[in-house]
């Protein structure tokens, strides 16, 4: 990227204070920024961050409205984080290499439907009766199964797999190695062996969803596994068959949801959190890292621990647990005293 501070201010709907003609070539944090970088300052400014601002070498800093620039070049913005995210988006788009048209090595079934301005990378495969929307970009080695659908302006990184009868909405981003629609883990034991239950349902991923690398979302046994609009899924997440994830959820790395569980709107599962099967997790629930949820959780609760419980209770117990060595020493002294005076 090469732009002036004034150009960037127009993009983020901000106001320049200082040298609007300064040239910006990249973006970085306050501490790492060079004289050709733009940086940003969060709205909740604390003393350490203020020190970094004073010492930064950045060409300009995106700051909250009314912030004291102290002689530096700044762009005052309603939401500095949003402004900086827009700048990073511009840099990402400029640096990203996308296929032009449909690569000669791609295999597109004659019954597949391709929208306008579709880009398909090398060795990708589009199976029969698949539907690819306008402006979709599929990088190299992407597989789209029979009768699956990809909505307008979605972007798939290399080696994404959509199995048959899967639907992905508009403006979705799927990162390398994500697998959508693999078989749910369904077996029953009879005749001395595990017998497979065929998984004949599908997966629906709604609009504006982002799914991280090597994440797996299983197809339903019957019916639908659903990922709600605007939900963001990190790398290495497992979503089992028939799970219903509501809108605007955050599923962080290595979290897992067992079959037929329902998540409400805006649920957050921190890293390695696990949710057992056939549960209902209410709107706005937040589960801490490594939480093990084995029962329904009412809306708005914050839970942590295994088994998960309200955060305040878990913190009290953790605090007491850490005091056990000292308490044991006290107990030992009391016991020895009683035995001596016995």
pLDDT tens digits, 290-311 = 999 999 999 999 999 999 999 8
- Tell me the pTM: 0.89
Asked if residues 293 and 274 have their Cβ atoms less than 8 Å apart, the reply is yes
Query: For 91-100, 149-158, 221-230, which range has the lowest pLDDT when averaged over its residues?
Result: 91-100
pLDDT reported for residue 341: 81
The CA-CA-CA angle for residues 97, 102, 103, to 5°, reads 75
Q: What are phi and psi of 184, to 5 degrees?
A: -65, 160
SS percent in the chain: helix, strand, coil, step 5: 20, 30, 50
Statement: residue 85 has pLDDT above 80: yes
What domains sit in the chain, N to C, each tagged with a CATH number?
3-95 (3.40.1390.10), 107-314 (2.160.10.10)
| Ranges 29-43, 213-227, 301-315, most confident | 213-227
List active site positions.
241
The answer to whether the peptide bond before residue 307 is cis (omega within 30 degrees of 0) is yes
Cα separation of the two ends of the chain: 82
Which range is least confidently modeled, 63-67, 184-188, 220-224, 225-229?
A: 63-67
In this predicted structure, the answer to whether residue 342 has a pLDDT above a threshold of 70 is no
Tell me what the mean pLDDT of segment 62-88 comes to: 92
Mean of pLDDT values over 10-37: 94
CB 216 within 8 A of CB 179: yes
Looking at residue 26, what is its pLDDT? 94
pLDDT over threshold 80, residue 148: yes
Kindly state the average pLDDT of the residues 72-81.
93
Mean per-residue pLDDT over the chain, rounded:
95
Q: How large is the greatest C-alpha to C-alpha distance in the chain, in angstroms?
A: 94
Sheet with 210-211, edge to edge strand ranges: 119-120, 137-138, 155-156, 173-174, 210-211, 232-233, 250-251, 268-269, 286-287, 302-304, 309-310
| Residue whose C-alpha is closest to residue 152's, from 201, 176, 117 | 117
Both tokens of residue 134?
A: 């306008």
The most confident of 60-74, 80-94, 114-128, by mean pLDDT: 114-128
pLDDT tens readout for residues 232-265: 999 999 999 999 999 999 999 999 999 999 999 9
**How many other CB atoms are found less than 10 A from the CB of residue 147?**
17
Enumerate residues 6+ apart whose C-beta is below 8 A from 93: none
């Amino acid at each position: 990227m090469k732009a002036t501070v004034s150009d960037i201010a127009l993009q983020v709907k901000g106001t320049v204070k200082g040298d609007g003609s300064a040239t910006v070539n990249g973006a970085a944090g306050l501490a790492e920024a060079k004289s050709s970088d733009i940086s940003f300052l969060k709205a909740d400014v604390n003393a350490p961050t203020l020190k970094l601002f004073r010492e930064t070498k950045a060409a300009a800093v995106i700051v909250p409205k009314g912030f004291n620039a102290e002689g530096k070049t700044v762009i005052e913005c309603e939401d500095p984080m949003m402004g900086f995210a827009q700048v990073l988006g511009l840099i990402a788009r400029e640096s990203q290499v996308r296929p032009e048209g449909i690569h000669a090595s791609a295999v597109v079934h004659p019954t597949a439907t391709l929208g306008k301005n579709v880009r398909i990378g090398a060795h990708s495969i589009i199976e029969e009766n698949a539907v690819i929307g306008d402006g979709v970009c599929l990088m190299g080695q992407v597989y789209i199964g029979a009768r699956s659908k990809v909505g307008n302006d979605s972007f798939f990184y290399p080696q994404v797999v959509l199995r048959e009868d899967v639907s992905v909405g508009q403006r979705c981003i799927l990162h390398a190695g994500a697998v959508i629609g693999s078989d749910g883990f369904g077996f029953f034991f009879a005749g001395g062996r595990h017998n497979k239950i065929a998984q004949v349902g599908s997966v629906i991923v709604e609009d504006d969803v982002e799914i991280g690398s090597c994440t797996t979302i299983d197809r339903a046994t019957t019916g639908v596994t659903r990922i709600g609009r605007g939900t963001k899924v990190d790398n290495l997440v497992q979503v089992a068959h028939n799970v219903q994830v509501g809108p605007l959820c955050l599923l962080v790395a290595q979290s897992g949801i067992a079959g037929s569980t329902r998540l409400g709107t805006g649920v957050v599962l921190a890293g390695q959190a696990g949710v057992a099967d056939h549960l209902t997790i209410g709107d706005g629930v937040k589960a801490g890292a490594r939480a093990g949820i084995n029962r329904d959780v009412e809306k708005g609760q914050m839970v942590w621990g295994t088994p998960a419980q309200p955060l305040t209770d878990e913190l009290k117990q953790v605090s007491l647990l850490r005091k056990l060595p000292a308490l044991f020493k006290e107990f030992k002294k009391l016991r020895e005293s009683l035995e001596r005076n016995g």
